[in-house]
């Protein structure tokens, strides 16, 4: 007995098109079932925690650092949804430096002119579970991640250095 006969039937009994239609309907039924049934974890309510993290902003011009203020909300340039990532609670101003190559071929850190580095302490609301920190329940924080941030009056690139 052939797998597919001359009429295009599987084992001489059912059409291949009928089998494909049954498979598509079964897949759609399974997808609908999975979409409407919630897992226990997602259906339980959890409360927001206060997440404090630090952002290092290296080598920004002084006019940019002057535009960043305590109690300003901070946002991510690449993500317009999700709202504020928190409020700036503290700003530490440090001397800015960059790696410079000298004529003899040596590399050393040299101070930058008319620039500073900032260490911003930011406080936001979100969920902390299993080592993950989700601001606004959707924005994933990670140490050493570089992001494009902005406040109402300044734009800058910062690296998240610590999450507490």
Mean pLDDT, contiguous 10-residue spans, the chain (164 residues): 72 81 94 77 68 93 92 85 85 90 90 91 89 82 90 93 90
**Domain residue limits, the chain:** 1-37, 49-163
Q: Dump pLDDT digits (tens) for 68-116.
A: 999 999 998 887 665 788 999 999 999 988 888 989 989 998 888 889 9
119 neighbors 92 (Cβ within 8 angstroms): yes
Distance (Å) of CA 148 to CA 11, 78, 85, 122, 133: 61, 7, 12, 15, 18
pLDDT of residue 67: 94
* E strands, the chain, in order: 9-10, 14-15, 49-61, 75-76, 87-101, 107-129, 132-135, 139-141, 146-150, 155-163
């Amino acid at each position: 007995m052939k797998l597919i006969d001359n009429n295009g039937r599987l084992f001489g009994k059912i059409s291949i098109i009928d089998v494909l239609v049954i498979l598509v309907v079964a897949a759609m039924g399974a997808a609908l079932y999975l979409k409407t049934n919630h897992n226990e974890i997602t259906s339980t309510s959890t409360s927001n925690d206060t997440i404090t993290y630090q952002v290092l902003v290296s080598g920004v011009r002084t006019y940019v650092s002057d535009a960043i203020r305590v109690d300003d909300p901070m946002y991510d340039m690449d993500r317009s949804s999700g709202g504020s990532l928190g409020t700036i609670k503290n700003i530490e101003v440090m001397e800015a430096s960059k790696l410079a190559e000298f004529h003899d071929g040596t590399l050393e850190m040299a101070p930058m002119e008319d620039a500073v580095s900032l260490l911003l302490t930011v406080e936001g609301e979100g969920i902390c579970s299993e080592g993950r920190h989700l601001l606004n329940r959707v924005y994933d924080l990670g140490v050493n991640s570089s992001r494009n941030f902005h406040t109402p009056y300044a734009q800058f690139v910062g690296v998240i250095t610590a999450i507490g």
